[in-house]
Structure formats: structure tokens, C-alpha cells
Amino acid sequence: MKTKLTLLTLVLLAARATALTPAELQRITFDQHIGQIVSRDLRFRDSRGEPVGLGEYFGDKPTLLVLGYYRCPMLCTLMSDGMIASLQELRLSAGRDFQIVNVSIDPSERPELAAAKKIEYLKQYSRTGAEEGWHFLVGDKNSIAQLANETGFRFAYDSSSGEFAHPTGFIVLTPDGKISRYLLGVRFDARELQAAIAAAANRQEGSRIKQLVLICFHYNPITGKYGAFIMNVLRLSSVLTVIALVAVIVRLARQRPRTVTP
């Protein structure tokens, strides 16, 4: 029994030391900063490796600002697929009517990865002129942190998996870089998206919307599957539970009074 408790303690300590706790995961969300102006002077590098200021993408068109990371194995791809599917239903086009700016929250990602992701998404979107209106950026820790803070994008790094926990969705900015609206989740109504872009083009501010509990992390609420680390902990916990039950049964059997034969 003592061995079982020791093993379970080690498992729980390992999980606490390397994985995000439920309390930490509850803080992974969008704090919706409607009306916040995003700093124009934040510095990043584009998919060609050239230094750029975020304000270079502001001007006369709205901007869809997408935060995530390019090697993300979970909901990022589903969210991007959902966004592109909605964009394909619009008469509006990226480059002509609005900009899209993807920014990686992983400071270790390089422009080469951003370039590969740009090729992938442009091919999927398949609209003439989109190449000049869809930008993929990487940056250092400080620029990423400031942009995330200004947009209310709460995320955290999990050292056990080497992945980031972050909310899913994107932000609609007015031409001058003010937050107009948030669109959250992984699927987006085309009419709602068009209305959000039109409102941003007119420099109108939307209202806060209800949060969706969709976090890009160990548990994927779309597939209902857990990541390898969580599954291993659950499996080991199950084994320890069985061991505990067997130990209890054996102990009770030994304590059972023996029948004395007269």
C-alpha cells in the first residue's frame, strides 16, 4: 500500500511539475479588449525574414489578426480551416478588401516555417491577389507578449509536451488597428464574418461575445481525445487503482476471522 501511495505521489508531482494545472488552464482565454488600439511599432519578421512593424499592415483596410503557432498539432489547423471556409463564401477578398495577419506565439519558430504555412493557406484559400494581403509573422518573446497582452490573448507554454495552450479564434481590427470584434471557436458563420469585416471597415466597435471553452492543448474537445502525457497519467492512475483494490481485498481476507471446529 505504501508503495502504491509513493508511486501515485510521484505521478501527481510529475504532472504538477511539467503540465499545466486546471486552474492555469482556466486562465487560457480571450480577454476581449474591444476598442484597444494595437501598437503599430511592434517588431516582427515576415515569411521572407524581413523585419516589419505591425503598423505596416494598418491603413485603409480592416485586418483579421490570427494568433497561434505554425507547428500547432491541435485546434489551430481546424480553426484556420474554418476561417478559410467562411472566407471562401464571401465576395470580399483578402488583399483587396481586408488584410490577414498571422502571428506566431512561439518565439522559436522561424521565417521558413511561416513561409511554408503561407504557401499552404494560400493554396487552400485560392483567391487571386491574396498573396499580397495575407502575411505570416514570427517574433521575439517581448513583441509576442506585448501583442498578446494588448489583444487579451491568454496563453501558456507546457514544458511536458512542448506545446502552447491557447484559445481559438481571431480578432477583427479596424484600418487604424483598433480591436473591433472577436470571432471565437473553430467554425465561423460567413454572414457574421462579413458583417464583422464591414463594421471594422467603418471603424465601428462590436460587443463582447460569449466565450467558447475551446483550448488548444492536451485535450481536443473536437475529437474528444487526450494528448499522450494525459493518457499516460490516466493509464498509470488506473493501474494504481486496481493495485489498491487488490491490496484492500487481500487485507480483508487476512483479517476475516477463522471458523473454529469443535
pLDDT band at 232 (very low <50, low <70, confident <90, very high): very low
pTM, whole model, 2 decimals? 0.75
Taking domain 27-216, whether its CATH number is 3.40.30.10 is answered by: yes
Task: Give the pLDDT of residue 258.
Answer: 55
Asked if residue 215 has pLDDT above 80, the reply is no
| Cell numbers that stand for 2 in this block | 505504501
Q: Using one digit for the tens of pLDDT, what is the confidence trace for 19-28?
A: 667 777 777 8
pLDDT band at 221, cuts 50/70/90?
A: very low
Cα 52–chain centre separation: 24
Say if residues 200 and 93 touch (Cβ distance below 8 Å): no
pLDDT bracket for residue 31 (50, 70, 90): very high
Return the domain boundaries, the chain: 1-19+221-262, 27-216
Query: Which has more pLDDT, 189 or 16?
Result: 189
Q: How far is CA 4 from CA 8, 228, 230, 248, in A?
A: 6, 22, 19, 12
pLDDT, mean of residues 4-9 = 39
pLDDT in the model for residue 252: 73
What distance in Å separates the CA atoms of residue 111 and residue 180, rounded to the nearest whole number?
28
pLDDT band at 219 (very low <50, low <70, confident <90, very high): very low
**Residue 148 CB coordination number (10 Å):** 16
Q: Which of 28 and 231 is assigned the larger pLDDT?
A: 28
pLDDT at position 50 is 98
Question: What distance in Å separates the CA atoms of residue 254 and residue 234, rounded to the nearest whole number?
Answer: 30
Q: Which residue has the higher pLDDT, 75 or 44?
A: 44
Query: Average pLDDT of 75-86?
Result: 92
Per-residue pLDDT averaged across 98-104, rounded?
98
